[in-house]
């Protein structure tokens, strides 16, 4: 008696289903999650177009309307630098150009590259806070043991809602060294 060998099962259906699922997942990320991320950032004022470079404007300075601007700094969990504002707060008048600086020191034994990501509160002040120069627009390389002062120049648009008396600007510093090294290798 001869033994019959069963024909191999086709895995075509499983492979096609897997490909369709992967394509669907990629489309979901780009068509749903990515726009949702930008929408949430816009709503919360965490990041977005309001933090792009803008030109200084010729506003009439409103000396009768002092606004307290607080400056905060923090490091991402993987960032080992010392990072702080040189001034913790200033009084700014709508229309006035104000210049301040942050201090950074790379206390690690290796050269590093940092990127500062701003956050502004209250959210309603976001579109009225105009940055004309900011260290957050560029990555900041520092050699091991090196320190620097990083500048910020801003204006407050006089159309800022009257109820806003205090604005808090927070920068979070991220280590982007590995990303820069990978980009340089390609």
pLDDT at 49: 41
Residue at 4 is within a domain: no
Same domain, 67 and 110: yes
Whether the full predicted model's pTM is greater than 0.75, yes or no, is no
Classify residue 139 by its DSSP letter.
Answer: -
Same domain, 63 and 35: no
We report the CATH number of the domain holding residue 154 as 2.60.370.10
For the segment 118-144, the average pLDDT, to the nearest whole number, is: 88
| Whether 135 contacts 110, CB under 8 Å | no
Same domain, 35 and 105: no
Same domain, 21 and 76: no
Q: Is 22 helix (H, G, I), strand (E, B) or coil?
A: helix
Same domain, 22 and 88: no
H, E, C per residue of 132-157: EEEHHHCCEEECCCCEEEEEEEEEEC
Residue 142, domain extent = 52-185
Number of domain units in the chain: 2
For the segment 14-22, the average pLDDT, to the nearest whole number, is: 87
Is it true that the peptide bond before 122 is cis, omega within 30 degrees of 0?
A: yes
Same domain, 37 and 56: no
Classify residue 60 by its DSSP letter.
Answer: P
Residue at 150 is within a domain: yes
Same domain, 162 and 72: yes
Q: What share of the chain is helix, strand, coil (3-state, %, to 5)?
A: 30, 35, 35
Q: Which of 43-47, 127-131, 161-165, 178-182 has the highest mean pLDDT?
A: 161-165
pLDDT at 28: 76
Who's near 83: CB < 8 A, 6+ residues apart? 73, 74, 75, 102, 103, 104, 105, 171, 173
Same domain, 58 and 39: no
């Amino acid at each position: 008696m001869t033994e019959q060998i069963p024909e191999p099962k086709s895995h075509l259906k499983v492979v096609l289903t897997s490909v369709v699922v992967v394509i669907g997942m990629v489309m979901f990320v780009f068509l749903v999650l990515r726009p949702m991320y930008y929408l949430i950032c816009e709503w919360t004022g965490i990041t977005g177009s309001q933090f792009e470079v803008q030109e200084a404007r010729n506003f009439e300075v409103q000396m009768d309307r002092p606004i307290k601007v607080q400056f905060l700094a923090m490091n991402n969990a993987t960032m080992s630098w010392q990072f702080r504002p040189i001034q913790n707060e200033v009084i700014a008048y709508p229309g006035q150009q104000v210049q301040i600086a942050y201090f950074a020191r790379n206390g690690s034994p290796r050269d590093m590259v940092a990127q500062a990501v701003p956050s502004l509160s209250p959210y309603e002040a976001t579109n009225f806070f105009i940055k004309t120069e900011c260290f957050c627009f560029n990555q900041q390389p520092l050699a091991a043991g090196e320190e620097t002062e990083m500048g910020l120049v801003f204006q407050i648009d006089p159309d800022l809602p009257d109820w806003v008396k205090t604005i808090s600007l927070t920068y979070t510093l991220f280590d982007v060294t590995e990303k820069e090294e990978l980009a340089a290798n390609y």
